[in-house]
Amino acid sequence: MTEIESPLPPLLDRILLQALAHTVNGVVITDATQPGHPIVHVNEGFTRLTGYTAGEVVGRNCNFLQGAERGQPEVAQMRQAIAAGEPLTVVIRNFRKDGTPFWNQVELSPVREEGSGRITHFFALQTDVTLKRQAERTNVLRALELERIFRGGPVGMILLDEEGRATVATPALWRLMNIAPQAIEGLPAAQAAGVIARAFAQSQGMPEVPLPWPQGALSVRWEVPRKGSMRALDVSSFELGTLTRERVIVVRDVTQEEEGNAARSQFLATAAHELRTPMGSICGFTELLLMRNYSPDQARPLLETILRQSMRLSAMLNDLLDLSQMDVMGGHAFALAPVSLHEALNKALQVAVPPGSARTVALKLPDAPATVTAHPQKLEQVLINLLSNALKYSPQGGAVMMEATIDPALNRAHIAVSDQGVGLSPEHQARLFTRFFRADPSGPIPGTGLGLVIVKELVERMGGTIGVRSMLGQGSTFTVSLPLSSETPT
């Protein structure tokens, strides 16, 4: 080991040298008086860190540790510090003897001769900070991700500090409440609520209504004007842990949720009502049959009614089941596939008009085979439904036709199902596709008023559209448009 002149008494000197020898850090001492500043000493920590033994490095300049990466800005920084005789700490990419890279935190300090102050050596303490750097990087990335969620999310958030002042507010507040986050930042909560209430009142030219903040873990509902309609906001408060009185106020737009709930309750009420009608006549007629001694001829029409109403009930339950399955699916589309247009139309026709039926349907197909993107069974269900409506609602007969055409410009196929039947008035056309709508609910044609609702849902979940043209007393045409596919049908 090359001795360095030390001002310390020999015992302490020895203890220090031993401590340096055994520390987990790498220690490197270079001779500043010789050209190229050769290494004069390295400890065991250096060998553990880099894989090089003292014998392999003493006499060499430290720069071999940088491998081919001599251009790192930290190298220039070190050169400058050495030239200026100043201490420096840098993190630099170094390479072990086996070629693996690691991040080396180098704490460089000059060693000066007592008296003259001349720099004789440089002392470098080296620490492997690779893992620390990785952890820091992960933390930074996480923080950036959280920041993005915080800034870009649909939920408005206001952070209240220990004194109840709004410290941070997210930009979503602008979208939800028309309030720039800066307008409330720094304000005590009550004052911030006042600013928000005033902004709403001003935007509508209405008197100001106080907006309460939620207390404890409860939430409150704010009804606020936004873009011409009233929006319902759910405002909840959460404590940020038990050791602090900081709270976060979360603001969510629940208008759609509330509208959805209201529509569901309304639907349930209507469904129950609609189910009660056939159920009532089944019960009533059965009771009648049980109470009186009807002859078979007298009983027959009653039994026919019971059968008809039972079939209606069962059709309605099937339709309700279809609708509830789609509700469970949420807004998701079906798994779609390339479907042969010719095959789908032919199959639907066979089911809607089985061989031997009294009625016929004319089928017009494009000359060349065409493929649409659809769900094969659902497409069939749609077409069967439209065909059976066309036949049902043209009780006096008249031509029923199913025609498919290709629109290359729009890359779509149009399937039109037309009849010359009862047709629909403009008022009734406007109410088509709403649950339980029937133009003639007490008429002789059986139905549930749910078929077209299901058809529309199915078509839209296949990426298609449905439209209707109709004239009262003259007939109707329902047209389904679906995207064409360039793939081969499976």
- Range in contact with ligand ADP (rule: CB under 6 A) among 273-281, 367-375, 403-411, 419-427: 419-427
Residue 451 in contact with residue 338, Cβ under 8 Å? no
Cα 126 to the chain's mean position, in Å?
46
* 299 forms part of the interface with ligand ADP (CB under 6 A): no
- Range in contact with ligand ADP (rule: CB under 6 A) among 4-12, 109-117, 129-137, 415-423: 415-423
Among 232, 299, 365, 432, binds ligand ADP (CB under 6 A): 432
* 458 forms part of the interface with ligand ADP (CB under 6 A): no
Count of residues interacting with ligand ADP (CB under 6 A): 21
Rounded Cα distance, 303 and 280, in Å: 14
* 353 forms part of the interface with ligand ADP (CB under 6 A): no
Structure tokens at 83: 């030239």
Residue 323 in contact with residue 329, Cβ under 8 Å? no
- Range in contact with ligand ADP (rule: CB under 6 A) among 11-19, 220-228, 287-295, 438-446: 438-446
Give least dist CB 182 to ligand ADP, A.
53
* 278 forms part of the interface with ligand ADP (CB under 6 A): no
Q: Pick between residue 340 and residue 420 the one whose CB is nearest to ligand ADP.
A: 420
Rounded Cα distance, 332 and 329, in Å: 6
Structure tokens at 256: 């759609």
Q: Is the dihedral of CA 438, 441, 445, 450 positive or negative?
A: positive
Give least dist CB 178 to ligand ADP, A.
41
Cα 353 to the chain's mean position, in Å?
44
- Range in contact with ligand ADP (rule: CB under 6 A) among 53-61, 72-80, 246-254, 414-422: 414-422
Amino acid identity at 424: L
Q: Pick between residue 123 and residue 437 the one whose CB is nearest to ligand ADP.
A: 437
Among 437, 461, 463, 471, binds ligand ADP (CB under 6 A): 437
DSSP assignment letter at 277: H
Cα 321 to the chain's mean position, in Å?
27
* 420 forms part of the interface with ligand ADP (CB under 6 A): no
Among 49, 211, 372, 439, binds ligand ADP (CB under 6 A): 439
Rounded Cα distance, 321 and 228, in Å: 37
Q: Around Cβ 306, how many Cβ atoms within 10 Å?
A: 20
Pairing of strands 88-95, 166-169: unpaired
Among 126, 127, 309, 448, binds ligand ADP (CB under 6 A): 448
Residues within the interface to ligand ADP (CB under 6 A):
389-390, 393, 419, 421-424, 432, 437-440, 447-453, 476
